[in-house]
Chains A and B, each alone.
Chain A
Amino acid sequence: DAGVTQSPTHLIKTRGQQVTLRCSPKSGHDTVSWYQQALGQGPQFIFQYYEEEERQRGNFPDRFSGHQFPNYSSELNVNALLLGDSALYLCASSRGGRQETQYFGPGTRLLVL
């Protein structure tokens, strides 16, 4: 039973560039949530996708956008990267648009120079 997978594992970008991160949910899950985790902090909720629509959104600017595909996988896009976007980006999957039990992926470490 495959767990949540994310790609790439690490990424280095420069300010102003754009980045796309990918997530495949755990088998049987149809909901994907994205989080940003700065060093020494807890994860901060970016948004959730369910039924190919953004259902909930945290306090992140429009530079952060996403997409969910019919196979439930998801992408997180960040435009016009800032140094402060350097963080661990986590994807979590769950069922039915609910977040009571979430399974997290290993994350993508993004460094913006």
Chain B
Amino acid sequence: SQKIEQNSEALNIQEGKTATLTCNYTNYSPAYLQWYRQDPGRGPVFLLLIRENEKEKRKERLKVTFDTTLKQSLFHITASQPADSATYLCALLYSSASKIIFGSGTRLSIRP
């Protein structure tokens, strides 16, 4: 069955640096890959979607890359701020109307 792996350890970054989170998957590539942010006790918030034929997507300080050869997506937050501290989830979709598979998330802490 399809598996998703995200950085298992929490990530601690100094404010102002770039945070890079990893999402690796096994087996076949998804049609879409999403990134979400989740704060404690709250539902996930959609951040970005990247399609299998796209290499990179940007939104303000966020950048997502998608490498179907490596079976990996990287999520970057540039000029990180303490307010960026949260758990970040990646999720795979194999078509626009199919089941979503989520990773277990990476907890990111930005220290001032």
Contacts and interface: CB of A to CB of B under 8 A. Distances in A.
B33 to A, nearest CB: 11
Nearest to B103: A42
B96 A42 contact: no
A44 B105 CA distance: 12
Contacts of B70: none
A55 interface: yes
A49 interface: no
A63 interface: no
Q: Which of under 10, 10 to 19, 20 to 34, or 35 or more describes the interface residues of A?
A: 20 to 34
29 contacts: A33-B100, A35-B102, A41-B104, A41-B105, A42-B91, A42-B102, A42-B104, A42-B105, A43-B44, A43-B89, A43-B102, A44-B102, A45-B100, A56-B97, A56-B98, A57-B99, A58-B99, A90-B44, A98-B96, A99-B96, A99-B100, A100-B32, A100-B34, A100-B96, A102-B46, A104-B44, A106-B43, A107-B42, A107-B43
Interface of B: 4, 32, 34, 36, 41-46, 49, 89, 91, 93, 96-105
Interface of A: 4, 33, 35, 40-45, 48, 55-58, 90, 92, 97-107
